[in-house]
Amino acid sequence: MQTLPPCPKCQSEYSWLDGEILNCPECGHVWSEGAETAAEDALIVKDANGNLLADGDSVTVIKDLKVKGSSTPLKIGTRVKSIRLVEGDHNIDCKIDGFGPMKLKSEFVKKN
């Protein structure tokens, strides 16, 4: 009997083979045995101009943004260094001088 690898996404041991493609009945993930799964799991975030963003990039704010809990908005042209990409509605974590830690949407920034 052939031993199949567990699902790389949910670690389920109940994977099954369909031709050359492995399937997971628990989470629905489909993969091939020799394929790299890191490329599938990579987070893809694009700025307002469609450029790909990566961790550590510097970006510029392209629109005045209201900041919850602050009386002053985040002004257009504000530069943000060393961003970190995260999943969710606001997909950029960063620290902005004068504001502190912030979460931004990628649609309101452009890559420097």
Report whether pLDDT(37) > 80: no
Structural domain count, the chain: 2
Task: Answer whether residue 51 is part of any domain.
Answer: no
Check which CATH number belongs to the domain holding 70 and give it.
2.30.30.40
Residue type, position 110, single letter: K
The secondary structure element, H or E, covering residue 40 is: helix 38-41
Same domain, 66 and 98: yes
Residue 101 and residue 66 share a domain: yes
User: What are the tens digits of pLDDT across the range 48-102?
Assistant: 999 999 999 999 999 999 998 889 999 999 999 999 999 889 999 999 988 899 9
% of the chain surpassing 70 pLDDT: 91
Residue 77 belongs to domain spanning: 58-111
User: How many CB atoms lie under 10 A from the CB of residue 106?
Assistant: 19
Give 43 or 23, the one with higher predicted confidence. 23
36 pLDDT tier (thresholds 50, 70, 90) = very low
